[in-house]
A and B are shown apart, each in its own frame.
Chain A
Amino acid sequence: MIVGLRRTEKMAGRVELLGIFQKTAAEIVEREFPNISEKTAISELGIDSLGMLEIVGSMERELKIQLPDEALAGIQTVEDLLNLVEKKSGSVGGSGA
């Protein structure tokens, strides 16, 4: 895991992850999500729990990571998911800490 990254690099990583989420969600739900932020609740996007798992699966494939099943039930917002992905991928040094 890379530590000590500058804030700008972290932010770039988050923006990129949000972009991956938007693209993946759009492919799966077949609808665009142009105005989402990290604070958006996944249920607000009309994505149910199993749709969310499909998005998780696609993100795992793209980023070559594997998220633990037990952590997935706690995902409520886009931010929750990105935190998990970020933590697992280790590419930007943790969830904004």
Chain B
Amino acid sequence: MSLPATAPPRVQSDTAKQARLYEMYKTFFDKAEQERRWNPFRDVPYEKINRNAPESLVVVAETFCCVESYLPDYVAKGINIVRPYFGQAWFSANWAYEESKHSVALMEYLLQSGRRSPEAMWDLQSRLMEVEWKLPFHTSRQMTVYGCFQEMATFVIYVKQEQTAKTHGDECLATIFRLNARDEIAHCRFYEDVVKVLLEEDRVGTLRDVAHVAKHFQMPGVGIVPDYDERIKVMREEGKVDRAVFLQKVFFPVLKYLEVTRQELQEAVWSEREERHTTPRSEVHPC
């Protein structure tokens, strides 16, 4: 079968959207190459590990490592959902590379500190892989919105834990948390910029998705990381991430960046609810 040299253009708006997403990816990638590249073996001062740091700090590092260890699932499932959009799919590939360094650095910390043996580490990795992470949402738009909240939340937690690591005199772990946090906020900004494009494309639909994702939001480790509840308890005690912090540092900042108000989001939820109640059942199509 022979294909024409120039295929007929697809819907114009889709082409324009593709071009914008690619431009955003170029900007993101170029900046990352210029300002954010780091090496988990060379740029982390493992010699500055505080070997007497409390176990709670080690548990924090191990918990981050556990969550980051589901990278194979995040990549496999996350990249396919944005596959039709070049800019987003290529971002996902780059995102995976950056996230892979996070788990490697944390694993090196746990091993080089002597707080976890190689046997314990590999046993934990095996146990982690017994459970599979599942996509929390099933459209590319909802997953992009999820990316905003999840990356921002992770950024905030890393920043808080960086302070804790400093307080406990662990310069190595503080460095890892700082480098990881810097990547997370860059990822968050990319997702937010994509959501801005989606808002321009379909404001009401995107607002409904933002509200839906916010309502059902959970961090990726919930229900899959062994002893998750106990671990989170330790992280909360160490890093003081609670309800107020989530609203102040995650939810409202994301809305602000997106130029969306809480009231607008609420209106979108109510209008959807009213539509659902007024639409005859025969007109509701499963999608």
Across the interface, B248 reaches (CB within 8 A) one of A50, A51, A73, namely A73
Contact A66 B263, beta carbon cutoff 8 Å: yes
What B residues does A72 contact at CB under 8 A?
247
A43 at the interface (CB under 8 A from B): yes
What B residues does A43 contact at CB under 8 A?
243
Contact A53 B247, beta carbon cutoff 8 Å: yes
What A residues does B266 contact at CB under 8 A?
54, 57, 60-61
A30 at the interface (CB under 8 A from B): no
In the complex the two chains form, what is the Cα distance from A73 to B251 in whole Å?
A: 10
Proximity bits, B248-271, A CB within 8 Å = 1, else 0: 100110000000001100100110
Across the interface, B215 reaches (CB within 8 A) one of A54, A70, A76, namely A54
Q: Which of A56-79 contact B (CB under 8 A)?
A: 57, 60-61, 66, 69-70, 72-74, 76
Proximity bits, B192-219, A CB within 8 Å = 1, else 0: 0000000000000000000000110100
CB closest chain-A residue, reference B243:
A49
Overall SS of chain A's interface? helix
In the complex the two chains form, what is the Cα distance from A52 to B243 in whole Å?
A: 10
Contact A57 B263, beta carbon cutoff 8 Å: yes
In the complex the two chains form, what is the Cα distance from A16 to B270 in whole Å?
A: 24
B90 at the interface (CB under 8 A from A): no
What B residues does A50 contact at CB under 8 A?
214-215, 217, 251
Contact A69 B252, beta carbon cutoff 8 Å: yes
Overall SS of chain B's interface? helix
What B residues does A52 contact at CB under 8 A?
243
B3 at the interface (CB under 8 A from A): no
In the complex the two chains form, what is the Cα distance from A72 to B252 in whole Å?
A: 10
CB closest chain-B residue, reference A72:
B247
What A residues does B263 contact at CB under 8 A?
57, 60, 66
Proximity bits, B100-111, A CB within 8 Å = 1, else 0: 000000000000
What A residues does B245 contact at CB under 8 A?
73
In the complex the two chains form, what is the Cα distance from A60 to B270 in whole Å?
A: 13
B228 at the interface (CB under 8 A from A): no
What B residues does A49 contact at CB under 8 A?
243-244, 246-247, 251
